[in-house]
Each structure stands twice: as C-alpha cells, then as structure tokens.
Amino acid sequence: MLGEPGKSHFQIDLRRHLRGEGVDDALVHLICEIAEASKYVINAVRTGDLGVAGTSNLYGEEQLALDVLSDRIIRKRLIHSGVVCNIASEEMEEIFQVRSNLKGPYSVAYDPLDGSSLVDVNLAVGTIVSIYAGCDLLQPGRRQVAAMYILYGPRVSLVYSVGKGVHEFTMNHLMEFNLTRENIIMQPSGSIYSPGGLRNKYSEGDEKFIRYLEAKGAKLRYSGGFVPDINQILLKGKGLFMYPALNGSPNGKLRVLFELNPMAYLIENAGGAASNGRIPILDIVPEGLDQRAPVYIGCTEDVERAVEYQQEN
Ligand code: AHG
Ligand code: MN
Ligand code: MN
C-alpha cells in the first residue's frame, strides 16, 4: 500500500502503483497500454462524429460509429503490446488470435465503449476490461488476473484491481493517470439502487425486492451507463445495481465476458458481491462469447437479499 485510504496521492501514477503492487512487467505493460489507448478513446468521444457505422462524412470518407472506432483503437494497442495471446471484444464476432506461442501471455476481453448510445445525449460512458493469464478466454471470471474500467465522464478515471484491493486513478491535464483513491471498500449494506430494464417485465421476486429496497429508504440512481452506475456504487461504497431476467429475456441484457465478469471482480475485491440470482457471477462457466446473465451487484447484504427474493418466488 502506497498511502492512506481516502487521501490524495497526485504524485503516484498508474505504472508506479502497479509496480508497488508487485505486478509482473508484462501485466504492468498491458494495463498501461490499455490506459494509453483510453486517451485516444476519450478524444474520439469528445470530438468525434456522432455518426453511425457505414455512413460517410462531408468528404466522402468512411465514418465509424464511436464504438467501432474505440474497438479498433484498443485492439491495435493490444496487438502491438507483445504480451497478448487472444482478444475478445463486444464488437467482434469471434476471438481474435494475436499469437499462440508467446511466453507469459495474457488474453483480454473488453467492451470498448459501453453505453455508446449515451454519447449522443452527452452522458458518461466507459471502457470495461477483463484480463486472463494464458490464451483461454472462456473461463470462470474468478480466474481473471486483473480487471479495470475507464470512465469517460466530466473527468476521466480508471479503476483497476489485480486481486489486491481496488484503486482509482484520475486523468490530469497532461493525460496522466494519478492515484486518487486506494483500497476502495464497500459497506455491507447500501442506500442507492440502479435497476436496469423494463420494470413491467420484472418477475414477482424482483418486484418485491425493489419494494424492499424502497422501503429501506434506498434512492434511485440510474444513468443507463453500466460504468458510471457501477462507479457510483463502488466509490460511494453503498448501493446495488441490477439488470434482472426479464419476461422474454431470461438472461437479462449484460454480457458475462465483457461486462459482468470484470465488474464482479472489481466489486468483490472491494468487499461487495455479484450474483446472477443463484450463483456468484464469477463462478459462471461461460459457454460462448456472447453469453448474458441476470445480475445483482453491489453491497453484500443487498445482493444476498436479492438472491433470497429470487429463491422464494
Ligand atoms: P452497450 O452500449 O455496450 O450495448 O451496453 C449498454 C448497457 C449498459 O451500459 C447499461 O447498464 C444497460 O445497457 C442499460 O440498459 P437499459 O437501457 O435496458 O436499462
Ligand atoms: Mn456494453
Ligand atoms: Mn459496447
């Protein structure tokens, strides 16, 4: 640990912090490369065209939707990092094999721009990243060696864990990420809730659970962006995000590999919990890249209560 929790540490940058945590050189390099890529993503988000993929701009040039562009920015960086074996992204249909016989490689699953439809209305969006040792990406999330997200809000922040605490960095005017919060800890019980999906498609158990949360005085806090919604719950240390099974969508909406596993890893490492209503998100054995699951994620007691309501109904 490099400082007292809750104090500011503007002098500690991401690379120095990773080294202080005893992270091996290849993983330090990989995480710092993703942080570098995020600088180009935020530039695209802030100034890029709000077009849709496949259209062309004033000059007849191909215009890329921001999520496709963000995917290319991050993928290129990963390919040239020299430490990546396989890549899976929400924007690619198949696993992209970088190389298969590299010493000490990592594999990366990521959502390059989560909440991309929110860019049009100028709300916060983010990049979510999951890292495994070796070449296998279809493993339970508990085997992740690192997870992180970058939040593109009024400020840009980066939150990572390598299994030893969860730490927040904030981008300064030189676009460097400096430590702003170390060892973030969640409280056992929360006071905000973020419910995704259409409420009239909720099950009876989920309806009762929402009424329980409201009765205990929890406030509604939902932006429609998974990264800012989770960031709020994590940094305030008290709350629950859910995207349950819906009538007609028994697996909810969010994807295990690109969204749920990395967020579950971060929240668990901060002392919270994440469940699909039956088992921890991190114990799901993924069968495919596009696998989805219902999710209840946040303060441990709230997640336990959500699971109880599921089982009772
Ligand atoms: P993406 O933009 O990568 O497709 O994901 C958007 C996700 C996530 O950010 C958010 O939590 C959820 O969709 C919101 O869905 P609803 O609008 O159905 O609540
Ligand atoms: Mn997404
Ligand atoms: Mn996306």
Q: Is 228 in the pocket of ligand 1 (CB under 6 A)?
A: no
The pair phi, psi for residue 62, each rounded to 5°, is: -65, 130
Confidence at residue 48, expressed as pLDDT on a 0 to 100 scale:
78
Q: Is 126 in the pocket of ligand 1 (CB under 6 A)?
A: no
Question: Which pair of structure tokens corresponds to residue 299?
Answer: 């303060």
Cα(282)–Cα(287) distance, integer angstroms: 14
CATH code at 174?
Answer: 3.30.540.10
pTM of the model: 0.94
pLDDT 10s per residue in the chain (313 long)?
555 555 554 589 999 999 999 999 999 999 999 999 999 999 999 987 776 666 655 565 666 789 999 999 999 999 999 999 999 999 999 999 997 666 669 999 999 999 988 998 999 999 999 999 999 999 999 999 999 999 999 999 999 999 989 999 999 999 999 999 999 999 999 999 999 999 999 999 999 999 999 999 999 999 999 999 999 999 999 999 999 999 999 999 999 999 999 999 999 999 999 999 999 999 999 999 999 999 999 999 999 999 999 998 8
Q: Does one domain contain both 16 and 123?
A: yes
Q: Does one domain contain both 153 and 266?
A: no
* Of 247, 262, 228, residue with least CA distance to 294: 247
Whether the CB-CB separation of 250 and 223 falls below 8 Å is answered with: no
Whether the CB-CB separation of 156 and 148 falls below 8 Å is answered with: no
Q: Does one domain contain both 37 and 176?
A: yes
Residue 1 included in any domain: no
Cα(297)–Cα(291) distance, integer angstroms: 18
Q: Is 198 helix (H, G, I), strand (E, B) or coil?
A: coil
Cα(191)–Cα(238) distance, integer angstroms: 6
Q: Is 123 in the pocket of ligand 1 (CB under 6 A)?
A: no
Q: Does one domain contain both 271 and 123?
A: no
The domain in which residue 166 lies consists of 9-181
Q: Does one domain contain both 63 and 175?
A: yes
Residue 47 included in any domain: yes
Q: Is 125 helix (H, G, I), strand (E, B) or coil?
A: strand
Residue 186 included in any domain: no
Q: Does one domain contain both 48 and 176?
A: yes
- Specify the residue with its C-alpha closest to ligand 1, atom 14: 224
Residue 244 included in any domain: yes
Q: Is 149 in the pocket of ligand 1 (CB under 6 A)?
A: no
* Of 291, 296, 290, residue with least CA distance to 308: 296
Q: Does one domain contain both 125 and 212?
A: no
- Specify the residue with its C-alpha closest to ligand 1, atom 18: 197
- Specify the residue with its C-alpha closest to ligand 1, atom 17: 224
Question: Which pair of structure tokens corresponds to residue 219?
Answer: 């406030």
Cα(162)–Cα(275) distance, integer angstroms: 20
Cα(209)–Cα(18) distance, integer angstroms: 39
- Specify the residue with its C-alpha closest to ligand 1, atom 3: 114
Confidence at residue 9, expressed as pLDDT on a 0 to 100 scale:
47
Cα(106)–Cα(23) distance, integer angstroms: 13
Q: Does one domain contain both 62 and 144?
A: yes
Residue 212 included in any domain: yes
Q: How far is CA 156 from CA 13, 50, 54, 286, in A?
A: 14, 20, 29, 31
CA of 196, closest atom in ligand 1: 19
CATH code at 301?
Answer: 3.40.190.80
Q: Is 225 in the pocket of ligand 1 (CB under 6 A)?
A: yes
Q: How far is CA 139 from CA 40, 86, 142, in A?
A: 30, 13, 8
How many C-beta neighbours within 10 Å does residue 9 have?
18
Confidence at residue 50, expressed as pLDDT on a 0 to 100 scale:
73
Q: Is 71 in the pocket of ligand 1 (CB under 6 A)?
A: no
Q: Does one domain contain both 199 and 175?
A: no
Domain count, the chain: 2
